Homo-oligomer: A and B are copies of this chain.
Amino acid sequence: MKIGIVGLGLIGGSLGFDLRAAGHEVLGVSRQTATCEQAIALGAVDRASAEFELLSAAEAIFLCTPLGVMPQTAEALVPYLSPAAILTDVGSVKASVVETLEPLWHRFVGGHPMAGKETAGIAAAQAGLFANRPYVLTPTARTDSEAKATLEHLIRALQSNYYECSPAQHDRAVAWISHLPVMASASLIAACQQEPEATTLALAQALASSGFRDTSRVGGGNPALGRMMAQYNREELLRSLQIYRQSIDRCILLIEQHRWDDLERHLTETHQARPQFADKA
């Protein structure tokens, strides 16, 4: 197939590597000419351009820009698409994206490849990024089933673990396992920094080790990404944060009331529940 990729960053570039390896012709679009040249040089795309015209014969297009510019990018793109072209996106939040993009194109299917790295940009792109990682499509009642089937086929060829759910269910699930952890983890760092005694804060910082490191990792990540998650998945994130707050309150209550057996039972439940959360990374 002829496959278009709009936005040649970590995700777009990595898709390019794998789709080319699978025998497809990959056409990349980036606003930056330097990025286009780099993507060609790295072998992430066959051809690249700053103009959407390059995609006029593409049969499937992956929209790989940041969430914030997806609507205007899609609007600018659709006049160039051939009538049967399939359009999908890779945004980490789905309800708002699908709501905006679905009316723009009759063969649109929302998607979310759940792969990432600490580093961004075309230079970080790599083959095999999506292998053994979840890739979720979020069809609706309006979704063209043939378009979805074609995408599913492309995604399974990436060796991804394929999932399908509604945009709303996707957003609720990722609020739990991706967006809430960022806020809980950031709040941990923020709370520690509230320690009023400078020598105690310095001691805490010196004594911190693997437990603190792991718990604080996602809270010390990319601030712009954290903001975006909250902005685009606001309602589901708020809902999970409220339930999390109740969970913290419960913990405080048990400790305040010296209910040590109840606390141990509670920690036994979390100990037993954790392995149910897939751990394929």
User: A residues touching B (Cβ–Cβ < 8 Å)?
Assistant: 114, 133-134, 136, 161, 163, 165, 169-170, 172-174, 176-178, 180-195, 197, 199-200, 203-224, 226-227, 230-231, 234, 237-238, 240-252, 254-256, 258, 260, 263-271, 273-281
Contact = CB atoms under 8 A, between A and B. Distances in A.
A165 to B, nearest CB: 6
Contacts of A187: 184, 244, 247-248, 250-251
A269 B260 CA distance: 35
A241 to B, nearest CB: 5
A115 B263 CA distance: 24
Given A214-B217, A241-B255, A243-B191, A207 B267 contact: no
A204 B191 contact: no
A249 B245 contact: yes
Contact of A238 (B238, B256, B278): B256
A208 B279 contact: yes
A110 to B, nearest CB: 15
A207 to B, nearest CB: 5
A129 to B, nearest CB: 13
A90 to B, nearest CB: 15
Contact of A248 (B215, B245, B281): B245
B195 A276 contact: no
A273 B202 CA distance: 12
Contact of A234 (B216, B255, B265): B255
Given A169-B199, A260-B231, A271-B220, A244 B188 contact: yes
Contact of A209 (B169, B214, B278): B278
B181 A211 contact: yes
Given A183-B248, A184-B248, A223-B264, A190 B270 contact: yes
